[in-house]
Amino acid sequence: MAAAGPSQLSMALQPASINNTSINGSLSRWQEPQHIYSIASVAHSMKQVAVIIINFNSSAYTVDCINSILENTAPTLSYEIIVVDNNSVAADYETLLRQTEGYPHLSIHRSIVNLGFSGGNMYGLQFANAAYSFFLNNDCVLLNDNLSILYTFMQEHPDAGLCCGQMHNSDMSFHHSFGYFPAISLKLLGSSGARWLSAGAYPKRKVKYSEPLRVPLVTGAAMFVDFRKLAEIGGFDTNYFLYCEEEDLAKRLQQKGYTCYLQPEARFIHHMGKSTSRNYAILRENYISLLYYHRKHHNYAAYTLFKLLYFFKNIKKFYKGAVYAKLAFFILKGAPLTYSLKHSQQISLPPAFD
């Protein structure tokens, strides 16, 4: 699971169409509320790649990220950069505008409410018009032409729904770019033991691969997705406010028969969540997302076992601070979605009101 990068919001994409009004003039139900409209009506002007970046009180990282895209992307590629400002404080938003004034390919869209990582990306998709969507954390810096490399790779692999390049730490050391779906065998046996039971499901993460590799899921810091296939599964599940977006997205693409790949030729730095602080609320959000994922994708027995494993993991840490005991008992009651930070967000006045 990747550390959450910038900010977050949550809006659904444009619906395909609206049914006719009923006799009394009220609107009847929406039809399948996803993205067919976006694909069909604007295909004539569609770009190859839309990069979607979320900024939340971390404009310095966002500007560095944008600069790395502009510096490394071939002029032959048709692309756009969409920045969603997730209700940052006015000073940070104004800094972002000032430092990117006149940048090509760039549009910035401000939300007056922070609706999370999944929702922020869904909001950004409303402004996108491209065959592929590159969801890039703002604390990432591209080291080469990721957009062209990943675009070409996806074009050559029609089975691919999602891919990612090779990640590096801030000091340029190697860091794995993919992960595994949560599994009981993985929790109890570790990756080595689980690999013995099912080798294909657990490729080694600490290996520096030189060729593309099929993987279970990629880091949420840099997800390159086929937009048509993303639309087919309905986009991101906005119940996830900060964590588990990549697990859920990869799982649903896999359920549709699509493959996830590592393409190590593309390389980037991820500053590992430097734009997100860690406190009790953030730690709690992690378990809210995790247990929601288990309820969604596993049976009740597996969900219950995961809940107990997470409970004991945290209760053993009580000597490090009361926060872990508090987390443990929160987990035991199921880490309900109603406690998510998503439900405590408030709107702020836009600059026009100042």
- Asked, for residue 342, whether it belongs to a domain, the answer is yes
Domain boundary (230, 246, 270) is at 270
Q: Are residues 216 and 252 in the same domain?
A: yes
Q: Are residues 168 and 266 in the same domain?
A: yes
Three-state secondary structure call for residue 40: helix
Q: Count of alpha carbons within 13 Å of 208, Cβ hemisphere only?
A: 5
DSSP assignment of 171-229, as one string?
TS-EE--EE----HHHHHHHHHHHHHH-GGG---SSS--SS-EEESEE-TTEEEEEHHH
Q: What pLDDT, on a 0 to 100 scale, did the predictor assign at position 28?
A: 29
Distances in Å between the Cα of 11 and the Cα atoms of 45, 79, 119, 123, 234 are 24, 23, 6, 5, 12
The terminus-to-terminus CA distance of the chain in angstroms comes to: 39
Q: What pLDDT, on a 0 to 100 scale, did the predictor assign at position 240?
A: 96
Phi, psi angle pair for 85, to nearest 5°: -90, 120
Q: What pLDDT, on a 0 to 100 scale, did the predictor assign at position 190?
A: 77
Residue pair 52/125 in contact by the 8 Å Cβ criterion: yes
Report the run of H or E that residue 65 belongs to, with start and end.
Answer: helix 59-72
Q: Are residues 285 and 255 in the same domain?
A: no
Q: What pLDDT, on a 0 to 100 scale, did the predictor assign at position 177?
A: 97
Q: Are residues 194 and 326 in the same domain?
A: no
What is the Cα Rg of the chain in Å?
20
Q: What pLDDT, on a 0 to 100 scale, did the predictor assign at position 23?
A: 28
Phi, psi angle pair for 317, to nearest 5°: -100, 10
Q: What pLDDT, on a 0 to 100 scale, did the predictor assign at position 198?
A: 72
- Asked, for residue 325, whether it belongs to a domain, the answer is yes
- Asked, for residue 17, whether it belongs to a domain, the answer is no
Q: What pLDDT, on a 0 to 100 scale, did the predictor assign at position 319?
A: 80
CATH of residue 158 = 3.90.550.10
Q: Are residues 129 and 67 in the same domain?
A: yes
**β-pairing verdict for 217-218 and 106-111:** unpaired
- Asked, for residue 15, whether it belongs to a domain, the answer is no
Phi, psi angle pair for 135, to nearest 5°: -90, 105
Q: What pLDDT, on a 0 to 100 scale, did the predictor assign at position 199?
A: 66
CA angle 184, 189, 195 (to 5 degrees): 95
Whose tokens are 């590799």? That residue is 213
Q: Count of alpha carbons within 13 Å of 140, Cβ hemisphere only?
A: 33
Q: Are residues 178 and 324 in the same domain?
A: no
Residue 101 amino acid letter = E
Enclosing domain of residue 154:
36-270
Q: Are residues 327 and 265 in the same domain?
A: no
Three-state secondary structure call for residue 2: coil
Q: Are residues 248 and 299 in the same domain?
A: no
Residue pair 5/117 in contact by the 8 Å Cβ criterion: yes
- Asked, for residue 27, whether it belongs to a domain, the answer is no
- Asked, for residue 7, whether it belongs to a domain, the answer is no
pTM for this entry: 0.85
Between CA 286 and CA 3 the distance in angstroms is: 10
Q: Are residues 263 and 217 in the same domain?
A: yes
- Asked, for residue 128, whether it belongs to a domain, the answer is yes
Q: Are residues 177 and 242 in the same domain?
A: yes
Q: Are residues 255 and 109 in the same domain?
A: yes
What's the token pair of residue 263? 């393409």
Q: Are residues 59 and 183 in the same domain?
A: yes
Residue pair 138/58 in contact by the 8 Å Cβ criterion: yes
Helix, strand, coil percentages (3-state) for the chain, rounded to 5, are 40, 20, 40
Q: What pLDDT, on a 0 to 100 scale, did the predictor assign at position 55?
A: 97
Report the run of H or E that residue 245 belongs to, with start and end.
Answer: helix 245-255
What's the token pair of residue 326? 């508090």
Q: What pLDDT, on a 0 to 100 scale, did the predictor assign at position 13?
A: 32
- Asked, for residue 31, whether it belongs to a domain, the answer is no
Q: Which residues, given as ranges, of the chain have pLDDT below 70? A: 1-44, 199, 273-278, 351-354
In the chain the beta strands, taken as DSSP E runs, fall at: 47-55, 79-86, 106-111, 130-136, 140-142, 160-168, 174-175, 178-179, 213-215, 217-218, 222-226, 259-270
- Structural domains counted in the chain: 2
Report the run of H or E that residue 64 belongs to, with start and end.
Answer: helix 59-72
Domain boundary (239, 270, 301) is at 270
Residues 6+ apart with CB under 8 A from 44: none
Domain boundary (241, 270, 299) is at 270
DSSP 167: E
Closest CA to 150 of 160, 137, 140, 159: 160
